[in-house]
Copies of this chain bind each other. A is one copy, B any other.
Amino acid sequence: MQARREREQMSLILETRKGNISAELAAVARDENRPVETVAAGVACGTVVVPKNRLRRLARPCGIGTGLKTKVNANIGTSTDVVDVDAEMKKMAAAVDAGADALMDLSTGGNLMDVRRMFVSKCPVPIGTVPVYDVMALRFCCNSPISALTSDDFLRAVEDHAKSGVDFVTVHCGLTRRALAVMLAQGRLMDIVSRGGAFLAQWMTETEKENPLFEHYDRLLEIALRYDVTLSLGDGMRPGSVIDATDRAQIEELIVLGGLAQRALAAGVQVMIEGPGHVPLDQVAENIRLEKSLCNGAPFYVLGPLVTDCAPGYDHITSAIGGAIAASAGADFLCYVTPSEHLRLPSIDDVREGVIAARIAAHAGDIVKKVPGAIDRDRAMSEARKKRDWERQISLAIDPEKARAYRSTSTPKQNDVCTMCGDLCSMKMTEGLRKEQKREET
Contact = CB atoms under 8 A, between A and B. Distances in A.
B198 A328 contact: no
Contacts of A393: 312, 342
Given A195-B421, A421-B79, A403 B313 contact: yes
A437 B434 CA distance: 73
Contact of A409 (B195, B344, B406): B344
A398 B314 contact: yes
Contact of A378 (B241, B282, B316, B320): B241
A55 interface: no
A383 interface: yes
Nearest to A200: B429
A202 to B, nearest CB: 6
A324 interface: yes
Nearest to A412: B81
Contacts of A365: 281
Given A202-B432, A368-B281, A378-B241, A339 B406 contact: yes
A191 B191 CA distance: 52
Contact of A240 (B206, B382, B436): B382
A314 B193 contact: no
Interface in A305-322: 307-314, 316-318, 320-321
Contact of A396 (B310, B360, B361, B434): B310
Given A82-B410, A344-B407, A344-B419, 14 more contacts: A81-B423, A82-B419, A109-B422, A133-B424, A206-B436, A241-B379, A281-B328, A282-B328, A311-B398, A313-B403, A318-B360, A321-B321, A340-B420, A342-B418
Interface of A: 79-82, 108-109, 133, 136-137, 140, 184, 189-195, 197-199, 201-202, 205-206, 240-244, 280-282, 307-314, 316-318, 320-321, 324-325, 328, 339-346, 356-357, 360-361, 363-365, 367-368, 375, 377-379, 381-383, 385-386, 393-394, 396-399, 402-403, 405-407, 409-410, 412-413, 417-427, 429-430, 432-434, 436-437
